[in-house]
């Protein structure tokens, strides 16, 4: 269960009472998690090469910025709205390449 953007409540199999896990308080817990098909963890997008709709290299994603109107990819000095199909044509995670639509390419001018 997601509490907010920094806290996620989880359950651990085999631990049914909070007193059984008090020794974990203050410790880091790591898990190998994969994003569901068609979705992405923002950390995975950072560093990906961004191509225009014509295949020209624009730059690489330096960060993902959360704004009230939505999330944006910061590429060079351009903010590209992170809306698939409208601004982003394809995300190729295997080759670490994001291809923009014509509208997405226009945001970089």
- Give the pLDDT band (50/70/90) at residue 99: very high
Which neighbouring-strand residues pair with 66?
A: 71
pLDDT of residue 38: 75
Q: Say whether pLDDT at 6 is over 90.
A: no
More confident residue, 62 or 32: 62
Q: What mean pLDDT is reported for the chain?
A: 88
The pTM of this model reads: 0.71
**14-18, 23-27, 38-42, 80-84: segment of lowest average pLDDT:** 38-42
pLDDT of residue 3: 60
Distance CA 109, CA 104 (A): 10
Q: Where are the alpha helices (DSSP H) in the chain?
A: 42-45, 102-106
CA 8 to chain centre: 17
Distance CA 16, CA 44 (A): 34
User: In terms of Cα–Cα distance, which of 37, 76, 44, 42 is closest to 59?
Assistant: 76
What is the arithmetic mean of pLDDT over 51-72? 94
Distance CA 37, CA 33 (A): 12
């Amino acid at each position: 269960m997601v509490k907010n953007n920094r806290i996620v409540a989880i359950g651990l199999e085999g631990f049914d009472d909070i007193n059984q896990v008090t020794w974990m308080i203050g410790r880091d817990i790591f898990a190998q998690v994969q994003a569901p098909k068609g979705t992405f963890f923002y950390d995975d997008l950072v560093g990906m090469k961004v191509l225009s709709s014509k295949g020209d290299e624009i730059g690489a994603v330096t960060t993902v910025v959360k704004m009230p109107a939505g999330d944006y990819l910061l590429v060079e000095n351009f903010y590209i709205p992170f809306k698939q199909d409208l601004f982003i044509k394809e995300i190729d995670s295997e080759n670490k390449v994001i291809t923009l639509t014509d509208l997405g390419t226009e945001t970089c001018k």
